[in-house]
Structure 1
């Protein structure tokens, strides 16, 4: 009996299984045992053993001689490094940022974590600014100041965030920079409740920013934001662009999670609904 057109047999099935194993690793799944893998994927023990041994032989996994478990190997690091040096995350984000910048007139940014900051790795200027004498790319945004960083740090597990940030000195960048740790935590809570972060002059006294988180699997991996000059006249409000900003972040989340993006009205993580969030009276 012939197989259907979508069925995988022989070498293709083996490749699919190997890729499924590699894609199963995340912050919660860091290793596999042979029997554990066989049960999870419905494989014979001998098949699971050959699959793990083959991946270890090519360096994608590494066998622990004491526990007899398989974790990620150096080939994963090498491939990730090659991907990032060829453009990687910034190349994925730039087309989405370009559309955001074109539609909104604002500058769009994609930032990823860098210690107690987020670092801008891609930026596309909008027609209405802000005008700057130095580039956005490679600029660091501190966790306690501004929407761009808040949209990432707010969605971290609170215990992880406290371990990273508690007790660190907080610089003042303007009169509007939140300084007290309790105040910063309240701003994180508000961002989680509303599903976005908004700021006005906390980091750059001349700028406003609106930002939403980007996820990779189950955890935040960065933020996408729109930035405008506080002193420019706009026909619309920055919050009018929240829906397309969320849609772009969701599409980037889909690309990073190897899944199709959900519609823009999807419910955001931690209880954020598709109904438009109330517009804050003070940004």
Structure 2
């Protein structure tokens, strides 16, 4: 199912329109009734939309809370970023993802694999809508680093900071220091903090106001690239920074530099 169209259908239920029929959805999304019905049927099956058996009309289902409205609102972002994310995956040969931050979690809104035949992509069974704790992921740290200090402390106070990988930062003050380094460098690194063998690099994406609204990462497993973290950084970071800057530019952000 097309992410863009699926999100368009879900977002159509906002703005005082909690119940809609197929004809309404087709008109609002700009597709035929048969196409709208096909997408809605998939969303019903997944639990994101439910149908009233009497009126035959639709409303948002319980799983929308799992996906998060932040992901729904990222529709324009995903459309803008899609070709650039795919380009980054093809360029590096690794899996590339984009996520938004929702409270203590990151919510995946796009995930791309390299088109190379000998791809070095990895699979942690993640997909659009998957959630992970922000504190132990590169994308999470790339977004937490730019939060208002008070808001950041509140988020960390509600996070359990459980150990998930061999190098998870479980001390709040140490994590705050790490986030300060992310702000200074403009890049977040996850070196086996989420899971053994997993490394990733992430960069923030900004909107026209300069606010960090998402993050892009490149994920690498030691089995695919056993190089040192410094060597991987030299290989990945220039491409990652360029991609994040370009997505931000297309979202209206103009650097002061």
Task: Report the TM-score, using the length of structure 1 for normalisation.
Answer: 0.58
Equivalent runs, 1:159-170 vs 2, <5 Å: 159-170=150-161
Aligned mates of 1:162, 1:139 — CA distance in 2: 24
- Equivalent residues in 2 for 1:27-176, closer than 5 Å: 74=15, 84=72, 87-126=75-114, 127=116, 128-132=119-123, 134-176=125-167
1:82 deviates by 6.6
Q: How far is 1:86 from its partner?
A: 10
Q: Could you tell me how far 1:184 is from its partner in structure 2?
A: 0.8
The unaligned stretches of length 5 or more in structure 1 are: 1-73, 76-80, 268-283
User: Which segment drifts farther, 153-162 or 189-198?
Assistant: 153-162
Is the 8 Å Cα contact of residues 104 and 158 (structure 2) preserved in structure 1? no
1:185 aligns with 2:176: yes
Highest RCO, 1 vs 2 (Cα 8 Å, sep ≥ 6):
2
2:214 to 217, 222, 228: 222
Matched positions, count? 185
User: In 2 relative to 1, CA 173–195 (structure 1 residues): closer, same or farther, beyond 3 Å?
Assistant: same
* C-alpha distance in 2 between matches for 1:221 and 1:237: 26
Structure of larger gyration radius:
1
CA contact (8 A) 2:93 2:121 kept: no
Distance verdict in 2 for CA 1:193–1:145, change over 3 Å: same
Structure with more helix by fraction? 2
Deviation at 1:121, TM superposition (A): 0.6
Relative distance call for 1:250 and 1:173 in structure 2 (3 A) is same
Change (3 A) 1:219 1:110: same
SS in 2 for 1:183: helix
Counterparts in 2 of 1:254 and 1:228: CA distance versus 1, 3 Å: same
Please report the RMSD computed on the Cα atoms of aligned residues, expressed in angstroms: 2.9
TM-score computed with the length of structure 2 as normaliser: 0.64
Q: 1:133 to 1:234 in 2, by over 3 A?
A: closer
Q: For residues 113 and 133 of structure 1, do their structure 2 counterparts lie closer, same or farther at Cα, with a shift above 3 Å needed? A: closer
> Is the CA contact 1:145–1:203 (under 8 Å) kept in the aligned structure 2?
yes
1:249 aligns with 2:237: no
> Taking structure 1 as reference, are residues 231 and 86 closer, same or farther at Cα in structure 2, changes over 3 Å only?
closer
Q: Which string of whole-angstrom CA distances, capped at 9 and with x for unpartnered residues, describes residues 13-44 of structure 1?
A: xxxxxxxxxxxxxxxxxxxxxxxxxxxxxxxx
Show structure 2 runs of 5+ residues with no match.
1-14, 17-27, 31-71
- Relative to structure 1, is the Cα distance of residues 220 and 129 closer, same or farther in structure 2, using a 3 angstrom cutoff? same
- Tell me the secondary structure at the aligned position of residue 166 of structure 2: coil
